[in-house]
Amino acid sequence: MSAKRILLVEDEKHIGEAILLNLESEGFEMVWATDGNQAMEYYGNGSFDLIMLDIMLPGIDGLEICRRIRAKLGTEPILFLTARDSLDDKKDGLAIGADDYITKPFDLEELLLRIKAIFRRQAWLRSENTSADGYKFSGGSIDFRKFEVESPNGKFRLSNKECLLLKLFTEHQDEVLSRNTILDGVWGYNAYPSSRTVDNFILRFRKYFEPNSSEPIYFHTEFGTGYRFTPKGKAAHD
Amino acid sequence: MKRFSASSTRNALIIFMILAGIFFAQMLWWIIFQVRNAESTRKYLTSTLEDQRRWAIELLNQHYLSIYQEAEGVIENSGEMTAVPPKFSDPAVSGIIEEGAAEAINFNDSLYLILKSDGREYYLFLNKDYPHSLLTRNQKLECTPHPPGRLSRPDWLTEEYVKINPAAYASIDRDRQRHIRMFVMEGSFFILLMLVGAYMIYIALRRTRQVREEQLLFVHSITHELKIPITAISLFLDTMKRRNYDHDLMADLAPKMKEDLGRLNRLIDNILQVRKLSDNQLELRLEAIDLSSELTRFAGHIRERIESTGGKLNLDIAENVRIRGNLAELIKVWESLIDNSFKYGTSGNLQLTINLRTHREQVEMQFIDNGPGIPEGMGDKLFEPFFRGNIESRKSVPGSGLGLYLAREFVRRSKGAISIKNAPSGGCLVNIRFRGAK
């Protein structure tokens, strides 16, 4: 397997150097951009397995870079590295499609763990039991490679996180998945999203697949325990 | 905290709007009331005029007999012209007298005046005490013997002979309009006053909010600035540990860590200096400085930093330029300007020009870079503490907002002046002027 390519966008010389020094020795292929314009240029000219973004940057800031990448339908996982740690910033980052968030100052080990967790999840998403023609159930079909779903409700594009969570559900059909299982599987060991975040994903899935989202037959919330996916379609209280 | 301030401002605004609404309604009601009041006054005065007219008609009719006899008597004693008393100074009266065709008959300063013209024609004019009523001009009154046994003759003077003077109407209208105008003016004045007050309150509120926002941003920026070197040092230490404290690696990383510590230290110094400056605690020592050699030496230090990132440094430094000032503080100013050029400039190829020239008594120093320049009309504001250009650059460019503030304060302490503008070539041009010393 070829080395993972990581685009690092960081304007601080020493932080960039330290990250490069360590990630290169871990066997990653690193590309380092020191401002927003350079980042967009590198992004346009190459393919990456992970993008690490600082928020405060000269030129285009990190949130805007993330927004532009997602607008171009880029599905690369994005990890924010930033000194900003207020709740609003986290929400901003997640709302526009970031995958993870690490606040400065951070430990090197923690950074490496997070990067590995992201790659592990990506690998799982693309693992061999993901068939090339995707997954089909009576509510519609999911293409985990193209990040697309198709259902009687229409055709939708998935975010990386949505894709991961759907994958988790399809691998655990008819089982109740606890909130913690979901957080571990999709968000990694540093599970910052609240249960509301998971709820929001479920609401979106219902919009994608359910004939009537107020009476779900595929995506159920089991109060107090977690969530359940029933691909054959089943009313909540059968 | 932000949310709280926003909602308290919104509450203040809502209360203010309600009060303004009440006040405005009050003003409006007051104006309407006054207009209606003026209208009813006008109606009252008009009806008074009509009363007076009716009264005059009645009176003249009642006096019919004596008027007639008076007239007859005058006619018989004709030949004497009685002077017209001033009460009857109606132009119509004097007109008839001047024509020589009439004689004035003074009727004891009373209500009316009878004029006799040739033949047996009589003209009757009302006393000036009844200015609102007019006898129809040139209306001949036929003096016919009264019916026997009757003193009054109601049909002698009918309503059509006595009219209300249009000038009286006009004067009532004029009064009314003057009143209304006065109330409208006063009303508008109060509304204007209220608006001015509202505007001043708004300015004060906005200023308070700005100060709070600036301070929040300041804390935010300082925190960010502190965290960067801490992150770098922490990462370097983690790296050393991972490599089992490899000697070569440590030798490589130590100077970088030292540099980060220097950066932390500079930031803390800046904060302390701002504090001292604002408390007037910083002692001022002015000394003779050879600006040419100091600036050349400084340029030598920064040349490496600029060229190592692919930039270029151009120098044009006149020799033997001397001023009196504080060298340590001026070097801080230069450092801060160079930092800004790095921070805000285009990445990599920084083109920096440093000029030092004398111009008669004036010493002029210029720092010109090839960055994006400064936003239009922002020059002097950039020197305000915590001010960091537009919101976008505050978000994306690290900085405490203290660099240029300190720069200006330090230049001022060395009796100089600093200004910033866009260079003709597009970058940023900082100009520092001093009075030269021999």
pLDDT digits (tens, 9 = 90+) for B77-86: 544 445 444 4
Q: Which of B228, B239, B227 is nearest to A109 (CA)?
A: B239
Which residues in chain B have their CB less than 8 angstroms from residue A80's CB? none
Query: Nearest CA of chain A to the CA of B256: how many Å?
Result: 7
**Kind and range of the H or E run holding A201:** helix A195-209
Q: Is residue A26 part of a domain?
A: yes
Give me the pLDDT at residue B385, please. Answer: 67
Q: Which of A102, A125, A148 is the last residue of a domain?
A: A125
**Tokens standing for residue B381:** 């504001």
Q: How many CA atoms lie within 13 A of A35 on its CB side?
A: 15
The torsion angles phi and psi of B348, rounded to 5 degrees, stand at 85, -100
Angle between helices B247-278 and B166-242 (to 10 degrees): 150
Q: B238, B244, B394: best mutation site toward chain A, by most A Cβ within 10 Å?
A: B238
Which residues in chain A have their CB less than 8 angstroms from residue B397's CB? 56, 58
A18 and A120: one domain?
yes
Q: Are B321 and B293 in contact (CB under 8 A)?
A: no
Q: Is residue A223 part of a domain?
A: yes
Give me the pLDDT at residue B334, please. Answer: 92
Q: Is residue A235 part of a domain?
A: no
For chain B, the residues whose C-beta falls within 8 A of a C-beta of chain A are 220, 223-224, 227-232, 234-236, 238-239, 242, 256, 259-260, 343-344, 347, 395-398
Q: Is residue A236 part of a domain?
A: no
Which residues in chain A have their CB less than 8 angstroms from residue B239's CB? 18, 21-22, 108
A89 and A36: one domain?
yes
Q: Is residue A11 part of a domain?
A: yes
A71 and A114: one domain?
yes
Q: Which of A83-97, B160-174, B217-231, B236-250 has the highest mean pLDDT?
A: B236-250
Q: What is the pTM of this model?
A: 0.57
Give me the pLDDT at residue A35, please. Answer: 82
A60 and A169: one domain?
no
A95 and A191: one domain?
no
Q: State the alpha helices, DSSP H only, in B279-326.
A: 291-308
Q: Convert A31-43 into a string of H (helix), E (strand) and C (coil).
A: EEECCHHHHHHHH
Q: How many CA atoms lie within 13 A of B215 on its CB side?
A: 8
Is A14's CB within 8 Å of B223's CB?
no
Per-residue confidence band for B418, with pLDDT thresholds at 50, 70 and 90: very high
Give me the pLDDT at residue B51, please. Answer: 84
Query: Nearest CA of chain A to the CA of B346: how many Å?
Result: 8
Indicate the number of domains in chain A: 2
Which residues in chain A have their CB less than 8 angstroms from residue B228's CB? 12, 15, 83, 104
Is residue A132 over pLDDT 60? Answer: yes
Give me the pLDDT at residue B115, please. Answer: 53
CB atoms within 10 A of CB A126: 11
Q: What is the pLDDT of residues A81-127, one digit of tens each?
A: 877 655 566 666 666 777 888 888 889 999 998 899 889 888 887 77
The torsion angles phi and psi of A78, rounded to 5 degrees, stand at -120, 130
Which residues in chain B have their CB less than 8 angstroms from residue A109's CB? 238
Please provide the average confidence, as pLDDT, over all residues in chain B: 76
Is A14's CB within 8 Å of B230's CB?
no
Q: Calculate mean pLDDT across residues B47-70.
A: 74
For chain A, the residues whose C-beta falls within 8 A of a C-beta of chain B are 11-12, 14-15, 17-19, 21-22, 34-36, 38, 56-61, 83-84, 104-109
Nearest CB neighbour to A61, from listed B220, B259, B396: B396
Q: B347, B349, B393: best mutation site toward chain A, by most A Cβ within 10 Å?
A: B347
A53 and A119: one domain?
yes
Give me the pLDDT at residue B333, please. Answer: 92
Range of the domain at A205: 135-229
A83 and A181: one domain?
no
Per-residue confidence band for B247, with pLDDT thresholds at 50, 70 and 90: very high
CB atoms within 10 A of CB B44: 11
Query: Nearest CA of chain A to the CA of B419: how many Å?
Result: 24
**Kind and range of the H or E run holding A22:** helix A13-25
Domain regions of chain B by residue span: 2-173, 287-435
A103 and A30: one domain?
yes
Query: Nearest CA of chain B to the CA of A20: how many Å?
Result: 11
Please provide the average confidence, as pLDDT, over all residues in chain A: 83
Q: Which of A125, A151, A168 is the last residue of a domain?
A: A125
A121 and A143: one domain?
no
Nearest CB neighbour to B242, from listed A60, A106, A108: A108
| Of residues B160 and A165, more confidently modeled | A165
Q: Which of A179-193, B307-321, B333-347 has the highest mean pLDDT?
A: B307-321
Per-residue confidence band for B109, with pLDDT thresholds at 50, 70 and 90: very low
What is the ipTM for the molecules in this complex? Answer: 0.77
Using DSSP's 3-state secondary structure scheme, residue B298 falls into: helix
Supply the CATH number for residue A56's domain.
3.40.50.2300
Residue identified by tokens 């020191």 is A34
Supply the CATH number for residue A153's domain.
1.10.10.10
Q: For domain B287-435, which architecture applies?
A: 2-Layer Sandwich (3.30)
Percent of chain B whose pLDDT exceeds 70: 70
Per-residue confidence band for B232, with pLDDT thresholds at 50, 70 and 90: very high
Q: Which of A103, A125, A147 is the last residue of a domain?
A: A125
- Classify each residue of B317-335 as buried b or exposed e, where b means 16 or more C-beta atoms within 10 Å of its C-beta: bbeebbbebbbebbbbbbb
